[in-house]
Structure formats: structure tokens, C-alpha cells
Amino acid sequence: MAIELKVPSVGESITEVQIGDWIVPEGQSVEKEGAVVVIETDKVTVELPAPEAGTVTRILKKKGEKAAVGEVIGYLENGAGAAKGKAKAEPAAPAKPEAKKAAPAKAAEPRVMPSARRAMHEKGLSTGEVEPSGPGGRVLKEDVERAAAAPRPPAGAAKAASDREEDVVPMTPLRKRIAERLVQAQATAALLTTFNEIDMTEVMALRKSHQEAFQKRYGIKVGLMSFFVKATIDALKLVPQLNAEIRGESIAYRNYYDIGVAVGGGKGLVVPVLRDADRMSFAEVEVAIADLAKRAQENKLAIEELTGGTFTISNGGIYGSLLSTPIVNPPQSGILGLHAIQDRPVAREGQVVVRPMMYVAVTYDHRVVDGREAVTFLKRIKECVEAPARMLLEA
């Protein structure tokens, strides 16, 4: 019996989605609850599970096409019906020997396992670039990882004329939304950035002395983000303008602290939110961020986890950025940018010493925040991070 594959409801305000990769193409089978197709929105990416075990018999909406919530995008033949249909199709093949003759001219495309297909999509690889090693010539996730790690031809290598091609793909809803919000921020807010630098000696020493015990207890390493989240909350309490937003002709000052932490997801940069971060311990912050980052990579964040932040922290240092001017995430009034830690010579008590230093930046909406307040905010973060024991005592 044919089962309709319909676009699920993925959020209260979302009425249209974009079709992503079909993890299970036409003619391939899937287990019950197995992922069939990727559904993309401007906030989250979800996988549509198979309601029953069976075979995908028809795809109505291809990758990149749009579909309404509740719309049928394909059909699944379940259980015995799928097997029966397949059995009927196979004996019919010998009736056309001509078709069999022509078949060797085109190599059969290897079967790509669902996890491998997702990995190929994330790493930008095609089936032809991956050497299958699974049973029956199947492409496994390990094959994709091996192909991604293999050296690519150097940029200056000679190329055939056929290499000068363009791969034009639809912009994902998430990328569209990111673009819209960045343009919105630049067009509607009076953005300004101020900078400072932080001596990371004490934080790094504290992490080193407690790393083993922390990892044994919580199963993850203690990172830098928990220190900056706590320092940010301390600074926001001192300078509440950076935790506010403009609403029409009014300014709303929030006395709660929902801190957004920018992380790289499978489809691009996303900003999951730590709700009531001021009530969380250092360990709870680290565990929560690790969980959000993991699920962001797997495109498993819920819409509620990506909305409603009051302030954002973005760490470009994990990618090697030394200095940048982050853009405010509207309708917020500020964003803190963290950068790479580098050993640099600095003056301490009349002596030149080498210390691990980090540049930090805060971009703020000048309509709400004055320059003095932005500088005070950043200086407070510097004071907190350079004396982390004080934060621990006051937490």
C-alpha cells in the first residue's frame, strides 16, 4: 500500500520549507523511523522519518524545491507491497535483451548508506569522489571521511577545460535567513565596535589544574566559554543597556540572561541559546554548550533553542581569527567576539614578559548603548577573566 510522505509541522510560524537531500532515493528501502529526506527551514533542519518500513517508490519534490507544510513530497510502498512490487519487476528484465546489452556502457551507481549520504552533503563530496568499501560496493560513512581527508590537487595544477564549470545550487533557507538578518542589522542599527585584550594566564592555569577531575566527572573538557559566559553576565548586570532591545519607541531592559552562543552547524552558523545562564554553574554551561554544538552539527536543534536570546557570544578564535568586528544579532543590542589566543610580549611591573593574550571585541547598537558603557562592559569582562577565582567564589 502506498504511503504519503508529507512535510511535517516544524514550527508554529513556518508554512513553507525547502527540500534537502533525499537520504533514501527512489527504489531504495528504508526501515521504520529511518530518515528519508532532509527538510530545511530558515531556523532548523530536520529529517523526515519513514512512518513504516518499505521502499521509496516516487519522489515528487526534488532537492532545492519548496513545499508547504502538509504537502505530499513522495510515496513509500510499505511492507509486503514493496517486496511484491520488486519481485514483479525483476523477472520482466530478461524480456528485453537489448536493454541488457546497453547496460554495461554505464557503470551502476554504488548504493550510498544514509549516514554516508549525510556526510557527503556536509563535506561537499559527490558519489564519484568516494571509493566504496562496504559489502556489495556500498559507500560507508568511513569512505566519505577517508575521501575528505585525502589531499586535493593544488590550486595551480593544470586543469582541463571541462574543469571550468559552475555548480549552481539553491541558497538554503538557513543561509537566506542569515543573510537577511545581517543586512537587517547593518541597515537598521547604528553599529560600532570597541576592542580590548585579555591576559589568559590565570584561566589557562585554572583549566589545567582542574581539567582531569572535571573531565572525569562530566565527561567533557572544561573550555573557555563557561568563563566568558559568566564574565558576560557579570558585565551585563553592570551595564544593562547591552542586555536591552529597542521596541518601537521604547527600550526593554531585561533582568534575565539568555545567552546565545554562536556555533558552526551542519548547514551554517547557528546561535543556540542558554536559557537563564545566570542560574547555571560553570559545569552546567560547559555541558550545555557541548550538547548544543553536537546537535548543531547533526542538524537536530529545535526552533525554540535558536530564538529569544538577549546577548550573543561568538568565538572566531576556534577558526584562527585574530581580530574581527562581529555583527549584532537583531533585535539584540550587543555581541561579544572572542579570538585566538597568542603568546605576545606585554609589560608587567616594568618587565617585558610573554603571556597568552586574546583580543576581544564588543559590537553594540549605539542607539541604546553609549561608547562609555561599551568600554566599561568590555573592561569588566577583562577583569573577570583575568581573575577567574573571583567569579568562582561569587557563583
pLDDT in tens, 116-128: 887 887 787 887 7
Strands (E), 306-388: 311-315, 334-348, 351-365
For the ranges 24-38, 186-200, 295-309, 339-353, which has the lowest average pLDDT?
A: 295-309
Q: Rg of the chain over CA atoms, in angstroms?
A: 26
| Yes or no: domain 111-150 corresponds to CATH 4.10.320.10 | yes
φ, ψ dihedrals at 149, nearest 5°: -80, -15
Residue 169 is predicted with a pLDDT of: 75
Pick 139 or 114 by higher pLDDT: 139
Q: Which helix (H) or strand (E) holds 261?
A: strand 259-265
What is the per-residue pLDDT across 140-171, written as a single tens digit (0 to 9) for each? 888 888 888 886 655 555 545 556 788 787 77
Residue 209 is predicted with a pLDDT of: 92
Give the highest mean pLDDT range of 48-62, 123-137, 154-168: 48-62
- 83 band by pLDDT with thresholds 50, 70 and 90: very low
Over residues 326-348, mean pLDDT: 95
For the ranges 33-42, 129-138, 284-293, which has the lowest average pLDDT?
A: 129-138
- Angle, to 10 degrees, between the axis of helix 114-123 and the axis of helix 141-149? 20
CB neighbours (10 Å) of residue 377?
A: 27
- 38 contacts 49 by C-beta, under 8 angstroms: no
HEC sequence for 28-43: CEECCCCEEEEEECCC
φ, ψ dihedrals at 282, nearest 5°: -55, -45
Query: Which own/partner pairs from 164-169 qualify as long-range (CB within 8 Å, at least 24 positions apart)?
Result: 169/64
Q: Give the domain ranges of the chain.
A: 1-104, 111-150, 174-394
The CATH code that applies to domain 1-104 is 2.40.50.100
Which residues lie below 8 Å from residue 310, measured CB to CB, with a gap of 6+?
A: 236, 243, 245, 254, 256, 257, 258, 259, 332
Over residues 177-196, mean pLDDT: 86
Catalytic residue status for 366: yes
Residue 178 is predicted with a pLDDT of: 74
* Residue 279 cell numbers, joined: 542560574
Residue 241 is predicted with a pLDDT of: 97
Residue 106 is predicted with a pLDDT of: 47
Q: Percent of the chain beyond pLDDT 70?
A: 86
User: In terms of CATH architecture, what is 174-394?
Assistant: 2-Layer Sandwich (3.30)
Asked whether the whole model's pTM tops 0.85, one would answer: no
Report how far residue 101's alpha carbon sits from residue 119's, in angstroms, rounded to the nearest whole number: 35
- 297 band by pLDDT with thresholds 50, 70 and 90: confident
- The burial class, CB within 10 Å (0-12 / 13-18 / 19+), for 44 is buried
For the ranges 151-160, 325-334, 336-345, 366-375, which has the lowest average pLDDT?
A: 151-160
Residue 346 is predicted with a pLDDT of: 96
Over residues 236-255, mean pLDDT: 96
Q: Which helix (H) or strand (E) holds 193?
A: strand 191-199
Residue 101 is predicted with a pLDDT of: 47
